[in-house]
Every structure is written in structure tokens, then in C-alpha cells.
């Protein structure tokens, strides 16, 4: 596997650029970091089925494989084995779509479809960590149901990672109590509150780029004054997203875009 062009005449191709095999950008697949070994990688059953049965790719096809930790590699399909599709790694690619800002989104548990939309859009918009939480007005599914939803959220994030050509898979934490998601170490902490009338976003999103930002978006019912006060005690700035009441998925996407515009890669 090489960092340079196989001919030795050029640098590594940027991830997401047109595939040298022709036909536009190469398809991207996901594999856990521990699956990369000895110059190759074996795709898991789900990714293998997608490659062979949905995309109908086979031996010799060029693809990209990402480990979700910043590594993207150009590879070729070596063979289809019983344990999964075996890829031969050819050269490292340079990720080009990651925001310089480490953004954490904490979002109140909401209806299934709404929260899944948040997961997809947050992944597409460069969020690095997503923390669902339980609060006074949030949905409260049973514990077994939460475990199932967590696995689905992580699967949705992987799918979005591939489609938007990111290199880092957002970490999705198990649902936690509201008080716990207030404990983050980020330099800037924001909580979107529908009752806030003073905290302007223009003042909160100014100054040099911080290393990390934590933003909290409530469930459909928002936050009671007690939770807003608790956040302030933990160093959060209360901010308003305007006079209209927004759906969870709308509020989350809005604040993410504004933060990435101020400090990330949308400036």
C-alpha cells in the first residue's frame, strides 16, 4: 500500500475524488479499525451484502474503505469469501470533508423518526459526538427499547458517514440523564431554550474558534425553567433560535449550521 500514486508520479488522491477506474467517485464502505490487517480488510456481512448484491460489484472493482477514525483507503475487491468480501488496500487517501471544530450535540429523546433525522443530519454536518438524553419533557422508552434504538442510531450514522464522504464516525453515546450531559469539558457550552429572550446567538457565536463546542437541544416539550437554570449553573449560555417554536430536527440542524458557519467549515 502506498501513499503516492502507483506510478510514482503524483500524490495521494483526495478521498471522494473521481475513481481512477472511471465512472466517477468510488463507492465507500465502512470497516472497524481492527478489521484492517496485513494490507487488507474483510467487510462485515452487512457491508459485504451491499457490495455484492445491491451494487453488484465483484473481483477487481476499486472502492474506498473508511474506519471511522480518520483513515480512508483506496482498495480493490480481492475475492468474495464466506466470512465477507476481502479487500486489498492500495493507497491512503487524504480526507477533505472534516470540520476543524469538535462539535458535540446533546439532544433530548424524541419520537423515533425525529431523532433518526437528527442523527443523519448531524453526521452530514460534521458533528463529532451525539449524546441523547432523558429530561423532564423527553420521551421515555423502556431500557430494552433504548438499547435497540442505540444500535440503529449507530447504523444510521455509519450509512450517513459513507454517503457524505466523512472520515470520522460520530460517537453516539447511550441515553443519559440530563444532568450528566451538562458535564462536558468544552470551552463553549450552549443550550437552546425557547423561553430565552436575552441570549443572542450573534454574541454567543463570536470570537476565535474554540477547540470544542457543546450544544444542547431539547425534546419536543423543551425545557422547564429548572433545567435551564441547572444548565446555567454548569456554565451554559442560554440562546434563542428565534420567535418560532421549532421541531427538534429543525432546531438541531439550525444550531449546527450556525455553529459550523461561525467556527467550522461553513464560513
For the chain, domain boundaries: 1-95, 102-263
CB 103 within 8 Å of CB 260: yes
Q: Rounded to whole angstroms, how far apart are CA atoms 105 and 170?
A: 10
Quick check: 263 pLDDT over 70? yes
Q: Is the pLDDT of residue 59 over 60?
A: yes
For residue 143, name the pLDDT band (cuts at 50, 70, 90). Answer: confident
Strand-pair category, 84-93 with 72-81 = antiparallel
> Pairing relation of β-strands 72-81 and 62-66?
antiparallel
CA 147 to chain centre: 19
Fold of 102-263: Alpha/beta knot (3.40.1280)
Strand partners for 192: 217, 239
Give me the pLDDT at residue 196, please.
86
Domain boundaries 1-95, corresponding CATH code: 2.40.240.20
Q: With bands split at pLDDT 50, 70 and 90, how would you rate the model's confidence at 144?
A: confident
Q: Using an 8 Å Cβ cutoff, are 221 and 138 in contact?
A: yes
Torsions phi, psi for 210 (to 5 deg): -80, 165
pTM: 0.87
Fold agreement between 1-95 and 102-263: no
Amino acid at each position: 500500500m502506498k501513499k503516492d500514486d502507483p506510478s510514482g508520479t503524483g500524490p495521494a488522491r483526495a478521498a471522494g475524488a473521481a475513481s481512477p477506474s472511471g465512472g466517477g467517485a468510488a463507492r465507500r464502505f465502512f470497516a472497524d479499525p481492527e478489521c484492517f490487517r496485513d494490507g487488507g480488510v474483510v467487510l462485515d456481512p452487512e457491508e459485504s451484502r451491499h457490495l455484492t448484491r445491491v451494487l453488484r460489484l465483484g473481483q477487481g472493482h476499486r472502492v474506498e474503505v473508511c474506519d471511522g477514525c480518520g483513515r480512508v483507503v483506496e482498495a480493490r475487491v480481492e475475492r468474495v469469501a464466506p466470512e465477507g468480501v476481502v479487500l486489498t488496500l492500495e493507497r491512503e487517501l487524504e480526507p477533505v470533508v472534516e470540520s476543524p471544530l469538535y462539535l458535540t450535540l446533546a439532544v433530548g429523546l424524541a419520537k423515533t423518526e425525529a431523532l433518526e433525522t437528527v442523527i443523519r443530519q448531524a453526521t452530514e454536518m460534521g458533528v463529532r459526538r451525539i449524546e441523547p438524553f432523558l429530561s423532564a419533557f423527553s420521551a421515555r422508552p423502556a431500557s430494552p427499547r433504548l438499547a435497540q434504538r442505540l444500535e440503529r442510531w449507530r447504523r444510521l450514522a455509519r450509512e450517513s458517514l459513507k454517503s457524505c464522504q466523512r472520515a470520522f464516525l460520530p460517537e453516539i453515546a447511550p441515553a443519559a440523564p440530563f444532568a450528566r450531559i451538562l458535564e462536558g469539558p468544552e470551552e463553549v457550552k450552549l443550550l437552546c431554550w425557547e423561553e430565552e429572550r436575552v441570549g443572542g446567538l450573534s454574541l454567543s457565536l463570536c470570537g476565535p474558534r474554540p477547540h470544542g463546542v457543546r450544544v444542547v437541544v431539547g425534546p419536543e416539550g423543551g425545557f422547564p425553567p429548572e433545567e435551564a437554570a441547572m444548565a446555567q449553573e454548569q456554565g451554559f449560555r442560554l440562546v434563542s433560535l428565534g420567535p418560532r417554536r421549532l421541531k427538534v430536527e429543525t432546531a438541531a440542524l439550525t444550531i449546527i449550521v450556525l455553529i459550523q458557519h461561525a467556527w467550522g467549515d461553513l464560513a
